[in-house]
Structure 1
């Protein structure tokens, strides 16, 4: 029966102070990080890295050939722009002082590759064939160990690609110890790896938080979290680092392309929750189309009809069309309906759309080195802006919930005694005596004597203090076993969970003793009349209340007769 205090006030002054303190903490954290970075640069230190070997480029002085054509003194990377399926070759003579026990780091871009030293094969890799399902062409790293005594010998790479965009491409070649080659790869992509991991765990956090907020009926955090996690894996793949986590050809060759079709789905569902309530069915339909596109692309790849790379062009076209639709609807929401969220998203989308359109143009112009750069930048900025909006949205929800709790507290709170009022009493009586399963409880009604005399003789301020003293005595006596209420004026009530008469008699004696002790310090008589009985299941509460009221007034008459 005991009710806990609800959340305290929702004053804007306190929140403003909290906001200033939060900004101060953020500033101190940034300053601390800058201080640590500065000190790490100034303090003397030695090189304590676990990997101290270096990776070196082997990209000068290559010859390229295909058919009867030979190109000499070329620098890698190079692109011969050949037809799919044409075998081509790149070769160079290794220096006389070329170090021993070296490895090569070579990237094959959807190509089969063979590595030879003086015509002798030391490594080869090509897509496995056979079976019911077709593996995708994959762009992968190879670490190739060179045999001893390679000085002065000819290193040759023989390649072939079924994909027009990569037929004739020769990527840069690096040599060094194996650990140095891997470390150099991570060093070059450490920012991309860090961003991918941060976005992944941010998305995971959003998904977990969404499960705790699922009763609110708003799934924006779930969709945004799934979008962030998909983006992080896509960024990891585009940074050419997915091979650090898996060696599966299907995942290496298909993850980026499959995610291009998957990414729009949670984003469209997020927009449905945030701004497109009028177009919910349209957003769901567009998401379903992308899901169908994903299934079709997967089926075409596995059946060997069309590879992921070729079907990606249709997906990119769908993304471009979807962006046009989304931007148009945002403009309609903003200009016709005055939707402030649409205006804010238009600014966000402006940055995102510009970078994505530029990326698609780079893709169709065959500038594949630049493609992932613009989309990564656009998605990271866009995701950051959406995350900021979501934080502000749920912060507003929590604020409104806090205000709702505050006003609920006011609705059921007696301002004078700071206890519960008549509305709270009626609410709790309805919960106990109403409904299909009424419960047994004890009701105590109390009424102060001589309040009019106190007000007339000592003023209403003293009368209010007398009321507060009586209520405090009630709380200290009955509050631990139930709930106390001020019904109005000098009338009070208590609802007790225990119906035992002996327990109640002991509580009543303690209450009257406390009232007596209070009166000793006062110039007037403090006296309370009491009536009580146990409510039985199914009893008419109106008649029950009326009976106790008569008992209380009988006690009041008894006290007056004693005077």
Structure 2
């Protein structure tokens, strides 16, 4: 294993995303300021819940406890003069929204019925404040059917449309790039896995890590507000995000099982099936408008906590048994589990975490993928080297090192294989060949010259009878050729051509000449009980030719 190659790949995977992120961060933070500044509109909001009768004044962002599926009204006076040319910007999380200017509805988004279980998704809004002045009253009504998000109120901003869009881009572009990088790495890994399958290298770890990256990238990308600039469908983005998130543990669990080589570990497989069934059942119930993905979120979190505990216990058990996986793999998995649990605790404890929808888990996911790509690259290099060694050993086992023809082992395998299907071939011819006078040539001119005679003889055989069947070196000076489904006339013609090439060779040789004796036999079901009987007949014919056909022997 050449560690420098693995290190090069790891650095490529790490530096490319890192440099991209740094470049985009530099570009977005250095964008020129606009003429119209953005003004925070977060102070002294009056709120009122018609369902509970609760009211008061608060600063935003805030967590205001109201019953689910009931409206929360926010009222404030538009600050300062000249707001008529500006717009209002805010973000909602799974909330239906209505905006009124002086009791006039100027914007409305969300399901038409208050009891709909269809989640409206996450979205941002830029609402023009045309016709407003310093005395105008702005009323915003938020409604969510989910207890998770019904109490959330994000902050508001006022500014020109272009300035607000630029501000959104600057704040969201970096997380978007990270999300797209995770998706891109997953696609690259999947293409790499496909190429590996074409070369008969089946590494399931690469496949599972690619699925984990693709699903993670889809989930995180669908959460980014800037994606709505290109795909203005919050409901679709919401559904894609939750489906991807609910399926995300499946390839992760299988990846851990693959890397740790835990073929007898059933719990990881069981948990993977549970997550797959959970995602499928939730999707079916969503289609029939019975529940939605957000309603099932606590169940998903519970299953994920159970899986996290099991993974940590599994690593502890494997380490105690002396079967600890690589340190990078264990640390990246533990970091992923830790930051998931941290994000989960913050999600249920702090309203801010629900509002931003950003977390440590996303960052740890990117690091997990990058580090495990390095871990996989080392494994792949090791597999590649093992395959090269195996191919070399296989070549040495079945190839004659001197003539580069197939050897006696390969010949015996071919004969045994052919013996089991003699009736399937229309004809089988066996040609046995022997290089004459090899001992005399070795004694007179040396073994090096004798080796050259063998190599040149093998080359001539391969160019002639080798066109119709495989040529084997089955002994020191003995060769064989198995020819299937060819007329005898073709074989005779190829042998004639072989002797023509021998004559041409001998005419140019100043020392020993090539001389070959041969014998042929065709399989006959009445004469041959098996393929080995055919070999005996061809071998006898060769020795008969060697004794009687002195014409083919040229003595130098």
TM-score (ref. length: structure 2): 0.81
1:515 to 486, 502, 510: 502
Q: Does 1:530 align with 2:518?
A: yes
**Which residue of 1 is the match for residue 95 of structure 2?**
111
Query: CA offset at residue 163 of structure 1?
Result: 4.6
Partner of 1:202: 185
1:235 aligns with 2:223: no
Paired with 1:299 and 1:476, the residues of 2 have a C-alpha distance of 66
The 3-state SS of whatever aligns with 1:136 is coil
User: Unmatched 5+ residue regions in structure 2?
Assistant: 49-53
Q: 1:444 to 1:79 in 2, by over 3 A?
A: same
Two-structure CA RMSD over aligned residues (Å): 4.0
Distance 1:378 1:20, change over 3 A: closer
* Among candidates 523, 543, 552, match of residue 533 of structure 2: 543
Aligned residue for 1:407, secondary structure, equals helix
- Counterpart position of 1:460: 447
Gaps of 5+ in 1: 1-11, 42-46
Range with greater deviation from structure 2 (457-466 or 159-168):
159-168
Alpha-carbon spacing, 1:472–1:156, altered in 2? closer, same or farther (3 Å): same
Contact 1:63 1:90 in 2 (8 A): no
Point out the more displaced range, 428-437 or 212-221. 212-221
Cα-to-partner distance string for 1:390-419 (whole Å, 9 max, x where unaligned): 343344333323322221111111111122
Residue in 1 that maps onto 2:51: none
Moved more, 203-212 or 285-294: 203-212
Mapped contact 2:41–2:156 kept (Cα < 8 A): no
Per the TM alignment, residue 211 of structure 1 is displaced from its structure 2 partner at its CA by 5.8
CA distance in 2 between counterparts of 1:281 and 1:128 reads 47
User: Paired residue for 2:46?
Assistant: 65
1:145-204 Cα shifts (integer Å, max 9, x gaps): 322464653434343555555455432333455565445433322222223233324334
SS in 2 for 1:479: helix
Look up the SS of the partner of 2:424 in the other structure.
coil
- Note the alpha carbon deviations across 1:199-248, whole angstroms, 9 max, x for none: 32433454455566397676444433332222112112333345346555
After superposition, the Cα gap between the structure-2 partners of 1:218 and 1:526, relative to the gap in structure 1 and judged at 3 Å, is closer
Q: Does 1:401 align with 2:387?
A: yes
Structure 1 position 59, deviation (Å): 1.2
Query: TM-score under structure 1 normalisation?
Result: 0.80
Q: Distance in 2 between matches of 1:111 and 1:65?
A: 19
For residues 296 and 491 of structure 1, the distance between their equivalents in structure 2, rounded to whole angstroms, comes to 70
Q: Distance in 2 between matches of 1:192 and 1:239?
A: 7
Quick check: 1:365 aligned with 2:349? yes
The answer to whether the 8 Å contact 2:88/2:128 transfers is yes
- Alignment partner, residue 136 of structure 1: 119
Of 478, 483, 492, the match for 1:496: 483
Listed one character per residue, the Cα deviations across residues 364-390 of structure 1 (whole Å, up to 9, x for unaligned) are: 212415663211011111222333333
Runs of 4+ in 1 over 6 A off after TM superposition: 20-25, 51-55, 214-217, 299-307
Separation of aligned partners in 2, 1:319 and 1:389: 24
In the alignment, what sits opposite 2:154? 171
Residue 255 (structure 2) aligned to one of 241, 265, 270 = 270
Quick one: structure 1 residues 279 and 137, their matched pair in 2 at CA, closer, same or farther if it must change by over 3 Å?
farther
Superposed, 1:44-193 pairs within 5 Å as 56-60=37-41, 62-67=43-48, 70-71=56-57, 74=59, 76-81=60-65, 84=68, 85=70, 87-98=72-83, 100=85, 102-129=86-113, 134-136=117-119, 138-148=121-131, 150=133, 153-161=136-144, 163-167=146-150, 169-176=152-159, 178=161, 181-193=164-176
Pair 1:22–1:69, CA change in 2 (3 A): closer
Task: Decide which of 329, 337, 340 is 1:353's aligned counterpart.
Answer: 337
Candidates 474, 477, 481, aligned match of 1:487: 474
Deviation at 1:52, TM superposition (A): 9.8
SS in structure 1 at match of 2:404? coil
Correspondence 1:422 to 2:401: no
Where 2:470 maps in the other structure, the secondary structure is: strand
State how 1:179-328 maps to structure 2 within 5 Å: 181-207=164-190, 210=193, 213=197, 219-241=204-226, 243-244=228-229, 246=231, 250-275=235-260, 277-294=262-279, 308-309=293-294, 311-328=296-313
Partner SS for 1:267: helix
Q: How far did 1:434 drift?
A: 3.1
TM-fit CA distance, 1:311: 4.1
Compared CA separation, residues 302 and 150, structure 1 to 2 (3 A): farther
Give the counterpart of 1:377 among 360, 363, 382: 363
Distance 1:408 1:537, change over 3 A: farther
Higher mean alpha-carbon deviation, 292-301 vs 138-147, is at: 292-301
Question: By how many angstroms is 1:439 displaced?
Answer: 4.8
The whole-number CA distance in structure 1 between the counterparts of 2:117 and 2:492 is 86
Q: 1:377 to 1:249 in 2, by over 3 A?
A: closer
- Relative to structure 1, the CA distance from residue 489 to residue 307 in structure 2 (aligned partners, 3 Å threshold; closer, same or farther) is closer
* Residue 328 of structure 1, CA deviation: 0.7
For residue 309 of structure 1, report the CA deviation from its aligned partner. 4.4
User: SS in structure 1 opposite 2:97?
Assistant: strand
Distance 2:512 2:426 in 1: 40
Which string of whole-angstrom CA distances, capped at 9 and with x for unpartnered residues, describes residues 30-83 of structure 1? 7xx89x979x99xxxxx9x9x9978853314632113585548x5x43444556
C-alpha displacement at 1:489, in angstroms? Answer: 1.0
Match of 2:325?
341
Q: Hey, what's the Cα distance between the residues in 1 that align with 2:164 and 2:306? A: 42
Structure 1 residues 456 and 283: CA distance shift in structure 2, 3 A: same
